[in-house]
Amino acid sequence: MSEAMSGPLSRLSFSLNPVPPYDFNLTAAYATYFRSRYGTDSYENGVFRRLLDIDGDLLLAEVSSSDATGSPRLEANLSGQNPDTAIAGKAKGQITRILGIDRGPGPFYTMALADPALARLARALYGLHIPQTGSVFEALVLAILGQQISAQVAFKLRNSLIEKYGPRLIADGKIYHAFPRPDSLAATRPDDLRAIGLSARKAEYVLDIAGKAAAGVLDLEGLRDRPGAEIIASLTSLRGVGGWTAHWLLIRAFGYPDGFPASDLALLRMVGNLMGKGKPVKPEEADEYSKRWSPFRSYVTTYLFAAVRSGRAELLEPVKESGQHM
DNA sequence: GGCCAGGTTCGCT
DNA sequence: AGCGAACATGGC
C-alpha cells in the first residue's frame, strides 16, 4: 500500500518563471489554505514542499524564492530515487500547476479596475495566482470530503485520508505524504473510510470514483482538453458530484478561468456582503450577479476565499464609494 | 443539546 | 419541478 522509503536520495534542481505579477508568498500560502500545512502541502519559512507521485515514483519538491513578490524566479529542488529527465519534466509540469505558475491574473485585474469591490481585492492580494491540485482525481476526492461540512471538519478528514492512504517518503527524518492513489483508495472498504470520519454516503462516492479511476473506465485527466460545459456534464454524471463540486473542480483542477460554485454557502455569504445585503443571497441571485465578473469568476472566487481564509474580512465589506484606484 | 457547516442524493408530492 | 430528510463531525 503506502511504502516507506528512505536511504540515499538524489537531487535535481531547476528554476521556474511565473507569469507576472506573481506573489510567491501569497500563492504558496493559499495552496496550504493559509494553515502552513494542509494535507500533502506545506509552506514554512519561505519553503513550499510537496511530495509528488509521478507514475509511481515519489519525489519531494521544495520550492523557494529569493524575491517573494513582483516577478520572482523560483528555485525548485527535487529529491527522489534517481529522478531521470523524463520524470523531472513531469514533476515540473505538476509544480507548475500546483503553484499556478503559467497563468497570471493580469486580464482579471484589467476587468477589476471597473468594479470597486474587485479592485480592492486585486490591490490587497496583488500577485495571487490560482494554485491547482496535482491531479483531477485529487481535486475530486478533496471536494467530496469537503461537501456540506465545516472547513475544520474537512481539514481533519482530508489530512486523515492522506496520512492513512497516501504513499510516503522519508527525507531528512521527516515523513511526507503524496495524495492517495486511486487503487489505494479503491482497495479500502466503506468501514475503513468511515473510521476516519467519512459518512457512509461519502465513503460510497469515494470508493465508486476510485474504483472507476483505478480500473481505467474513468479518465479524469482526459477531461482537461474539454470545454467547460462538457467537463461539468461528465463530472456531474458521477454519483456524489453535483454542481458545486463540478464548478469547484473547474477552478481547482482544470485551470478554467470562469468557474463559479454558485451554491457554495460561504460564497453566498460573501457575495451577499459585497452586494450590501448583510446576509447570504440565494444561488440564483449570486449566479445572476456574478455574470458581471465573467469570464474571470474563478479569480473572483479564489480572491474571495483568500480574503476570508487569511482573515481579511475588511475586503468583504460592501463598497460604498466608487473611484478607487489600483 | 440543537443547529449549522465551503452538498448531494433519494423519496416523496 | 420542487421540497424535506439523512448524513458524520466539531464548534458555538
In the predicted structure, residue A291 carries a pLDDT above the cut 90: yes
Give strand C nucleotides closer than 7 A to any protein Cβ: 7-11
Mean pLDDT for A103-126 is 97
- A259 CA to C1 C1', in Å? 26
Count the alpha carbons within 13 Å of A320 in the hemisphere toward its beta carbon: 1
- A149 CA to C6 C1', in Å? 14
In the predicted structure, residue A324 carries a pLDDT above the cut 50: no
- Give percent of chain A with pLDDT exceeding 90: 90
Query: Nearest nucleotide to A280 by CA–C1' distance?
Result: B6
Mean pLDDT for A154-181 is 97
CA closest to C1' of C6 belongs to A201
- Integer Cα distance of A23 and A70 in angstroms: 6
Q: Is the CB of A114 under 7 A from strand B?
A: no
pLDDT band at residue A67 using 50, 70 and 90 as cut-offs: confident
pLDDT reported for residue A71: 77
- Note the pTM of the prediction, 2 decimals: 0.95
Q: Is the CB of A153 under 7 A from strand B?
A: yes
CA closest to C1' of C10 belongs to A153
- Integer Cα distance of A154 and A39 in angstroms: 11
Count the alpha carbons within 13 Å of A232 in the hemisphere toward its beta carbon: 13
Mean pLDDT for A73-97 is 94
Q: How is residue A122 written as a grid cell?
A: 486585486
The residues facing A61 across adjacent strands are A50, A78
pLDDT band at residue A73 using 50, 70 and 90 as cut-offs: very high
In the predicted structure, residue A102 carries a pLDDT above the cut 90: yes
Mean pLDDT for A297-321 is 93
Q: Convert the pLDDT of each residue in A242-279 to its tens digit.
A: 999 999 999 999 999 999 999 999 999 999 999 999 89
What is the rounded end-to-end Cα distance, in angstroms, of chain A?
51
With H, G, I as helix, E, B as strand and everything else as coil, classify residue A174. Answer: strand
- A85 CA to B9 C1', in Å? 46
- Integer Cα distance of A27 and A22 in angstroms: 8
Number of H helices, E strands in chain A: 14, 8
- Give percent of chain A with pLDDT exceeding 70: 95
Q: How is residue A278 written as a grid cell?
A: 448583510
Query: Nearest nucleotide to A148 by CA–C1' distance?
Result: B7
Q: Is the CB of A265 under 7 A from strand B?
A: yes
In the predicted structure, residue A140 carries a pLDDT above the cut 60: yes
Q: Convert the pLDDT of each residue in A39-53 to its tens digit.
A: 999 999 999 999 999
Q: Are A234 and A200 in contact (CB under 8 A)?
A: no
Mean pLDDT for A91-115 is 97
- A71 CA to B3 C1', in Å? 47
Annotated catalytic sites of A, by residue?
264
Cell 464548478: give the residue: A247
CA closest to C1' of C9 belongs to A153
Q: Is the CB of A149 under 7 A from strand C?
A: yes
Q: Establish whether the linkage from the previous residue to A283 is cis, with ω within 30° of 0.
A: no
Query: Nearest nucleotide to A150 by CA–C1' distance?
Result: B5
Give strand B nucleotides closer than 7 A to any protein Cβ: 4-10
Query: Nearest nucleotide to A244 by CA–C1' distance?
Result: B7
| Residue ranges with strand state E in chain A | 10-16, 37-38, 41-44, 47-54, 57-65, 74-80, 168-171, 174-177
pLDDT band at residue A66 using 50, 70 and 90 as cut-offs: confident
Q: Is the CB of A248 under 7 A from strand B?
A: yes
